[in-house]
Amino acid sequence: MEFNLINVGIADFAISNSPDILRTILGSCVGVCLYDPELKIGGMCHIMLPTMKDTSKSMKKYADSAIPMMLKEMEERGARRKAVLAKITGGATMFTLSENSMMGEIGNNNIARVREVLKGLAISLAAEDTGGNYGRTIDFYLETGMVKIKSMGRQERVI
């Protein structure tokens, strides 16, 4: 079966359909995978920060703007919001910094904001692999909705 491997960069998103695979690499950023299992349309966004404060910056960088944008584009391609499921990964604490440091909490803040945005959009969170202190490479298989997670020195996981 012919498929495209689509790399999703930092503060970006991509949408495709089966049998393509979407891939990104995460640290404190959160990967949000949205999937319509009946139509096999999916999107992945690479969330860098929780909340957009400066509208002159890329809206694809922030949880509260990127996720609704990606969902809207998926709906324009035929996805039905009530069928869409979410899987999230990442949000690691990559650096040990002084307590209460903004940078030390960015992963947790990203995870919390992503969950809030999904809830506000009435998107069910089907699975997650978040937190920890290690990076992840994720592959989102649009044929099945499976997300494969690879991390250095850790067993490969599937959600």
Examine the pLDDT at 86 and tell me if it is beyond 60.
yes
Q: What is the Cα–Cα distance from 74 to 15, expressed in whole angstroms?
A: 7
Work out the average pLDDT over 81-87: 97
Examine the pLDDT at 96 and tell me if it is beyond 70.
no
Domains, the chain, in order of start with CATH, read: 5-158 (3.30.1330.200)
pTM (2 decimals)? Answer: 0.92
Residue in 21, 29, 92, 114 annotated catalytic: 29
Q: What is the Cα–Cα distance from 143 to 131, expressed in whole angstroms?
A: 27
| 133, amino acid identity | N
Identify whether 29 is a catalytic site residue: yes
* Interval 1-28: pLDDT, tens: 799 999 999 999 999 999 999 999 999 9
